[in-house]
Amino acid sequence: MSELRTRMSAAIGTAPVEATRRGAERLAELRRRAETDYPPMGEMRDLARAIRLHTLANLHRYLSEFCESAQRAGTRVHLAADAAEANSIVESILRAAGARTVVKSKSMLTEEIGLNHALDGFRVTETDLGEFIVQIAGDRPSHIIAPVMHRTRQEIGRLFADVLGVAYTDDPPQLNDIARSHLRRRFLEADAGITGANFAVASTGSVVLVTNEGNGRMCTSLPPVHIALVGIERLVPSPAELAVLLEVLARSATGQRLSVYTTVVTGPRRPDEEDGPVETHVVLVDNGRSRVLASEDAEILACIRCGACLNVCPVYREVGGHAYGGVYPGPVGAVLQPALGVGSADLPFASSLCGACREACPVRIDIPRLLVGLRHRLVDRSSFSWLGLGLEAYSRVASNPTAWRLFLSLGSFGLRTAARDGWIGRLPFHASAWTAHRDLPGPGAPPFRVWWRNRNR
């Protein structure tokens, strides 16, 4: 069994996965309501897709426009080819500024490049509540927008009591207050703020962050230095396109009309402004994206990281985020990680191809098509595969009516013999994966083909 399968099998039915499933169902319902209550959402999604595909098709032009606009606004722009270069750029900026303490807002890109690990010599504090919990627990995020979806409030209460030395409570407002007073001190002492960016606007050189807690705004306005790490695919041409994407993102992620805080940072503080950083840096990170852009998987770069595909995915709901391994879980991760060349090679097989992710995706990324393409290339590469041999044999039998009828009769006989009280508890070979977690109903009587023939008669 591959590592991925072992992890997934071990996760099924565990308490963290049960908590994840409840959270995912809640978010999926909020998104569904936001969509049905707002009829133009269908057109907004088409428009959002067109914007993302247009930007990707003209990425070089928008990247140079962004660099010029950002520099004009006073931001220093750095280009990083890979994770190691991005981390070393951030470290040099911090050292040059004499920074020791850093506050950080949630960013999948910084998880991807392992920034916190690389900044070992600095005191880095995650300030998104979920990421803060993940950090003090020594855990990993399990969802793109809700990093601690796998933890219950009782667990979080015990964690706060153990690590922060406060009295136990599992009351969410009180837990919030505890985290807030702890983080407030960190914001005020910070020498630098590090954020990701939901979008970067080419025409203005701005980086845009959306949060529901306001921590992104504190990271970008209180410390004297702000560093934003931006994946090169996160560009939008101008504020007009940004407005469409912000609305589609919020409705798809949490069912909100807009996220509570939208922060737009365009260069350092001006002489007449009271707050804001005196130094702003943007690190544009490639880390495999140029290669993906030139490949058959380019469409996945249109992703706006809303998490909607995770919430509706039957596989994600059953195994949770950690079982996927790596940084990006769920359907988007099953495409993005192999495309970027990270994570388990067999991730594209972690899907039932039911199409729920494509239905939910606000930019209509055809994830099942991308998964099938990746599977195809994986199978092509292997010189011999039992699965390929089995499918070849199946295709021959299924295309010959006599062989097919014989196959069905033998199969039906075998299943009837194996059934006890109408249920089959164990199947052999690859089919055992099904019965490892559930029983299979035995064949109906009479068989469908006999029933159909008699009915027509």
Using the rule CB under 6 A, is 63 a contact of ligand SF4?
Answer: no
- Cβ closest to ligand SF4, residue 75 vs residue 252: 252
CB 385 to ligand SF4: min, Å: 28
**Closest to 265 measured CA to CA, from 280, 255, 250, 278:** 280
Q: CA-based Rg of the chain, rounded to a whole angstrom?
A: 25
Stretch that binds ligand SF4, among 28-36, 124-132, 302-310, 319-327 (CB under 6 A): 302-310
CB 206 to ligand SF4: min, Å: 21
CA distance 48 to 52: 6
CB 248 to ligand SF4: min, Å: 9
Using the rule CB under 6 A, is 360 a contact of ligand SF4?
Answer: yes
CB 318 within 8 Å of CB 12: yes
CB 261 within 8 Å of CB 212: yes
CB 357 to ligand SF4: min, Å: 6
Using the rule CB under 6 A, is 282 a contact of ligand SF4?
Answer: no
CB 16 to ligand SF4: min, Å: 21
- Sole binder of ligand SF4 in the list 192, 229, 265, 303 (CB under 6 A): 303
Using the rule CB under 6 A, is 305 a contact of ligand SF4?
Answer: yes
Using the rule CB under 6 A, is 338 a contact of ligand SF4?
Answer: no
- Cβ closest to ligand SF4, residue 175 vs residue 371: 371
- Cβ closest to ligand SF4, residue 21 vs residue 31: 31
13-24 as b/e: b if 16+ CB within 10 A: eeebbebbbebb
CA distance 108 to 145: 9
Using the rule CB under 6 A, is 370 a contact of ligand SF4?
Answer: no
- Sole binder of ligand SF4 in the list 23, 255, 362, 443 (CB under 6 A): 362
Intra-chain end-to-end CA distance of the chain, in Å:
49
CA distance 7 to 426: 21
Using the rule CB under 6 A, is 361 a contact of ligand SF4?
Answer: yes
Backbone φ, ψ for residue 263 (5° rounding): -110, 125
Using the rule CB under 6 A, is 307 a contact of ligand SF4?
Answer: yes
Using the rule CB under 6 A, is 304 a contact of ligand SF4?
Answer: yes
- Sole binder of ligand SF4 in the list 250, 365, 371, 424 (CB under 6 A): 365
Q: C-alpha distances in angstroms, 170 versus 14, 22, 154, 214, 280?
A: 21, 18, 5, 23, 39
In the sheet where 192-195 sits, what is the strand order?
76-80, 279-285, 225-231, 192-195, 101-104, 123-126
DSSP 3-state of 13: coil
- Cβ closest to ligand SF4, residue 78 vs residue 143: 143
Considering only residues 128 to 157 of the shown chain, the ones binding ligand SF4 according to CB under 6 A are 144
- Sole binder of ligand SF4 in the list 363, 370, 371, 424 (CB under 6 A): 363
CB 138 within 8 Å of CB 226: no
Stretch that binds ligand SF4, among 53-61, 223-231, 303-311, 445-453 (CB under 6 A): 303-311
Token pair 């011999």: residue: 384
| Site residues for ligand SF4 per CB under 6 A | 144, 303-309, 332, 360-363, 365
